[in-house]
Amino acid sequence: MHLLIIEDEENAIERLEKIIAEIAPDKRIVGKCTSIEQTLQWLKEHPRPDLILSDVQLSDGLSFEIFQQLDAQIPVIFVSAYDQFAVEAFKVHGLHYLLKPVKKNELTETMARYDLNQSRINATTEPAAAGTPEKTYQERFILHVGSQMKLIHDHEIAFIYTENKVVFIVTFTGQKYLMDMTLEALEKVLKPAVFFRINRQCIIALKSIVKMSPASKQRISLRLQPPAPFETITSFERTPQFRKWLLGEI
């Protein structure tokens, strides 16, 4: 397995190299980049790595810019001295978010999760046994707008909520539409990696989250974009699963 390190602090690079050599000797570091510009050039000239370990703040900007420009996703473990970038990290499909200085046990656990996820992915890409249907998810929905019909794609949906037993879809452009499916039915057909039901009232898309903060009873308060017309707080029962969903573990 080939790893790429993106980091502009020499001490941090040496620490990552030392830990990786101890905990994952089968993983080979094939490149070390210190800036956005250098990384983009490296990726043009070399085969894509299997995994990237990246700092967030580099000398020429935030490393998220790198992954927004790629035409294919590469798994990334973000490393930062600050926790304020966690939401943005997961928006660019970051697998995990570790705080500096990186601890050996935390990186060990993260690598183990990555290996487990890869095993699951490899298992799902193997040919299904005869007679075993593959799980598919609904990507388009037909909504009624007055006397007309409108087609909505799943990537347009910011969140879905119920109010007075009526279900509404809200798009990233702020448009609100009536929906004739229940939240329970939508949970079964929406992509679980993209959507999560945070409580009895609301299903959100990962990309709609712009801020997270602690709430009472270890719950998490979310600020969405576009803003929701109600408090968006994870329920006590769903908070542990929500944390795993953020990390891509479910």
226: pLDDT strictly greater than 60 = yes
Pick from 91, 124, 157: which residue ends a domain?
A: 124
The answer on 29 and 111 residing in a single domain is: yes
pLDDT at 120: 54
CA 148 to chain centre: 35
The answer on 87 and 45 residing in a single domain is: yes
Residue 108 lies in a domain: yes
pLDDT tens digit sequence for 100-109: 989 998 898 8
Q: Taking residues 148-172, report their average pLDDT.
A: 91
Angle at 56 between CA 52 and CA 60, to 5 degrees: 105
The answer on 153 and 101 residing in a single domain is: no
Pick from 78, 97, 124: which residue ends a domain?
A: 124
Q: Taking residues 36-55, report their average pLDDT.
A: 94
pLDDT at 212: 93
Find, among 104, 77, 83, the residue nearest to 17 by Cα: 104
CATH number at residue 37: 3.40.50.2300
122: pLDDT strictly greater than 90 = no
11 neighbors 17 (Cβ within 8 angstroms) = no
150 neighbors 177 (Cβ within 8 angstroms) = yes
**pLDDT interval class at 219 (50, 70, 90):** very high
The answer on 115 and 196 residing in a single domain is: no
223 neighbors 232 (Cβ within 8 angstroms) = yes
Q: Return mean pLDDT, the chain.
A: 87
Pick from 89, 124, 159: which residue ends a domain?
A: 124
Q: Whole domain around residue 65: which residue ranges?
A: 2-124
133: pLDDT strictly greater than 60 = no
Q: Taking residues 16-30, report their average pLDDT.
A: 92
**pLDDT interval class at 218 (50, 70, 90):** confident
Q: Is 199 exposed, middle or buried (0-12, 13-18, 19+ CB in 10 A)?
A: buried
204: pLDDT strictly greater than 90 = yes
The answer on 24 and 110 residing in a single domain is: yes
Find, among 68, 69, 90, the residue nearest to 78 by Cα: 90
- Separation CA 198–CA 210 (nearest Å): 15
Residue 133 lies in a domain: no
The answer on 117 and 89 residing in a single domain is: yes
Q: Taking residues 67-78, report their average pLDDT.
A: 82
Residue 224 lies in a domain: yes
Q: Could you give the C-alpha distances from 187 to 23, 64, 160, 169, 182, in angstroms and in order?
A: 38, 30, 10, 13, 9
The answer on 96 and 153 residing in a single domain is: no
Residue 111 lies in a domain: yes
**Count of domains forming the chain:** 2
Residue 129 lies in a domain: no
The answer on 240 and 146 residing in a single domain is: yes
Extract the tokens encoding 1. 């397995």
CATH number at residue 234: 2.40.50.1020
The answer on 149 and 71 residing in a single domain is: no
Residue 192 lies in a domain: yes
pLDDT tens digit sequence for 73-119: 788 899 998 877 877 776 676 778 888 989 998 898 888 877 766 66
What is the pTM for the complete model shown? 0.54
Residue 51 lies in a domain: yes
Residue 160 lies in a domain: yes
